[in-house]
Structure 1
């Protein structure tokens, strides 16, 4: 059994949902819990978010797992159905499908029997999934009463002042204003900084888990609380001499005689391998920097700032007092990747 542990703070999760509600009081909330709720555990997160109006996941399999767990709220499948069997499963289990590609139109047209609820996705500038906005009227007429929503996705919402955001929302409004159908555009960043995009449904993701969706802004500054704490024990403390090398590649050279701690976690547990020396961990509330490369199941740290450290001490890799965003920045990645890598 691995010694690294993930703790999920469900009270922080509900706090963050309340922040969504305060920011978008006139919209329904579709909590995004794909990728195992960003590594936090999809089922327990869904069961905790009782005040959410619905959920969004990536795949049919995720939606079926939620239904099996007796989650009865609206569940939107963001990737939609990839074949007739998935389309039929969606209809049987009352899952709502995003429809974004001509191949899915073919599945719709060939289906016999009751259809699932459908949300049309339009490409307003992300250029990933979605129909051209110029096809809105044609598609809505083709799909008829089965269309229960219209949606888009921002490419640059983490930079609210980026002109691409206004271009996208203008394209979406121009294509959809004429139709009396629910609309959804706002992700976490847009919920916080672009109220004109809230429409009928908002789709919070990363902010639910306490990480910031905005560049150069911390979750704490947005009154978000980290939901996940990643921790592991300190399993050894060794005194090293000035000039001795630590770890693979002998990259870290001790600048003086010093204590080096060993923590029972590594990239095999989801900690980022590319976190460099200097990346902080917390031992007894004191920041201590990594010293040397991340190994598969161990980290080495400089304990000079925490002389009271002892074997068995709890070490926080990220969480309440050490944001995952800070670790992600040190490792040259984003908080989404680090959280999603966790086997919660």
Structure 2
């Protein structure tokens, strides 16, 4: 802009010089005698010179006008730049404020995460403490099926077809039991149940602790539990611990523990899966609702002599299926 102002100042000086020349020429023309033979010639020469000077002045005015327009435009652009710089400064201020706020929020989140981590660690320690406390007396506390499972060996149980009553149909993989009518024509043997529709699992247990799950969601009448390997299979059989059976029953919508006499059981909800815990060491058989881990019933401090095996029973054609849950 300084160069433009210098040009404008120079143009003003040129205008002043041209105007001064015109004045001088006019004065000179006034002093020239009109009767002089050269007056007309001098008048024409001076008029031409004055005309050139006026054109120069006019041209200078136009150039200065253009220069002033440029200056005004530059001022406008300068104001716009200043305005943009001011806006950028304001945005920068907002951005810095937001960054500071984000940093503060990040610090708060980090603090919260740290507090949550500490609470989680404390909760984990508390759970471990309660878990250890539970494990020290787990035989006497009929709760927390998932924790109890850690003390037992989970078995991939299958059914022993040689023991199945003719009314029971076993799936090909040996994990599902359904009722079949008419009864199958199966060979008679001492191992096969003839009077009650039962089948045994392949597990033969005389020591240790074992766990398996049975899907009962679509079954309506069943017995589940364990029995001695050589229980009575023919004639009138009463399922009770005295006769070598430790089982629970669902019949006509009622749940029972098969003691002698039977024990009525009250469940909060119908189980979809029943977990069976067999502890040969302590003489304990416990049943749990695996949906919520709640306790159903326990036969405790029993005398297991010889081999103990899983037991399954259906009652009739509308009993529905029992399915052993396969462990991956």
Give the alignment's TM-score, normalised by structure 2. Answer: 0.21
Give the alignment's TM-score, normalised by structure 1. Answer: 0.20
Larger CA Rg, structure 1 vs 2: 2
* Greater helix proportion: 2
